[in-house]
Structure 1
Amino acid sequence: MDAAEGLLCDQGSDALTLAAVAERAGVSKGGLLYHFSTKDALIKAMAERLITDFDELVAEQPHGTYTRRYLGATMTAIRTGRLRRWAVVTGSSGNMFLLAPVREAMKRWHTEALDDEPDPVAAQIVRLACEGLWDVASHDPDLHSEAELQALEKRLTALL
């Protein structure tokens, strides 16, 4: 999956073939096919891995409501460049079936523990702002300086 993500980042979705992924990963095409029988299976697995990665980032946040941890995970993902992977993986498929895990995760992320928030509407606003930051950072990771990210994070935290 790392090889496929790298291929997508470097050359775009047209270059994503099982043969190219196998070559980049240094495995035989048959070895790759053992784990991923089709390109679609590979894309779906990459999307599922991204979801798991973000869920782990949320769980690793030290404290606060779900939305505070979601904001912290988003900022960590932006600062470490992990969001770039979202753009290349989700952009690689025109098949909405393959992105079903992403849609399900988004629904969960945007409804999770809203009843536990002191201000559920503010929590929704912050979660949606995180989505905007994700989108911008995934397409232009250098747009915001660290100082700007800190200011955005501080303001979003204040909303909570």
Structure 2
Amino acid sequence: MKRDELLDAAERLLAERGAQALTLATVAQTAGVSKGGLLYHFNSKEVLIRALVERLIADFDQLVGEHPPPGGPSGPPRTYTERYVHATFAALRTGRLRRWACVTGAAGDPDLLAPLREAMARWHSAELAGEPDPAVSEVVRLACEGVWEVATHAPGLYSPQHYDDLEQRLLAMLH
């Protein structure tokens, strides 16, 4: 079994049964592998959780990088904050934000969230100097954090159309 399949099984377990159910034995059982097979990739629960956090960070970084300039490669470049907004709402639409709540909830040890704190610092300080209005860009990024919180803790609160409208409004604030 591949490493990502084991991480998928751990995320499913977290989403369905909560952080208290996350043990190496239950992850192995959920993945349909022996505990030894799981231990080959993750020799402790802490290593597993850190891998889950690191995968979430890489996933969001990939989403930020996936938003090319409007009009193709020859169009004007998107600012980092525009890409951040698009990535946030792409994560929302694909259900990826629910993964954040599950994984970060499992990381009871603050040290396990150190990579996330480092990523957040990077995401919120990235390229502000190149933004047309750095203060507005900062407010928009912080508003995205609020979207993450609402979408993960009260997923049915807003309709998909409301989120589409909110995304457009945040993008409009940047111009």
TM-score by length of 1: 0.98
Aligned partners of 1:78 and 1:141 also within 8 Å: no
Number of aligned residues = 160
Over 3 Å off, 4+ runs: none
Query: Residue 64 of structure 2 aligns with which residue?
Result: 58
| Secondary structure of the corresponding residue to residue 87 of structure 1 | helix
Q: CA deviation at 1:62?
A: 2.1
Query: Corresponding residue for 1:32?
Result: 38
Q: Shift of the alpha carbon at 1:142? A: 2.1
TM-score (norm 2): 0.90
What secondary structure sits across from 1:98 in the alignment? Answer: helix
* Residue in 1 that maps onto 2:74: none
Q: Which residue of 1 aligns with 2:83?
A: 69
Structure 2 residue aligned with 1:158? 172
Between stretches 141-150 and 10-19, larger displacement belongs to 141-150
Structure 1 position 131, deviation (Å): 0.3
State the identity as a percent.
Answer: 61
1:23 to 18, 24, 29: 29
The alpha carbon displacement at 1:137 in A equals 0.4
- For 2:161 and 2:115, how far apart are their aligned partners in 1? 34
Match of 1:47 in 2: 53
Aligned Cα root-mean-square deviation (Å): 0.7
> What SS does the corresponding residue of 1:137 show, helix, strand or coil?
helix
Counterparts of 1:140-159 in structure 2, within 5 Å, are: 140-159=154-173
More moved, 72-81 vs 135-144: 135-144
- Structure 2: gaps (5+ residues): 1-6, 70-77
Q: Is the 8 A contact 1:7 1:16 kept in 2?
A: yes
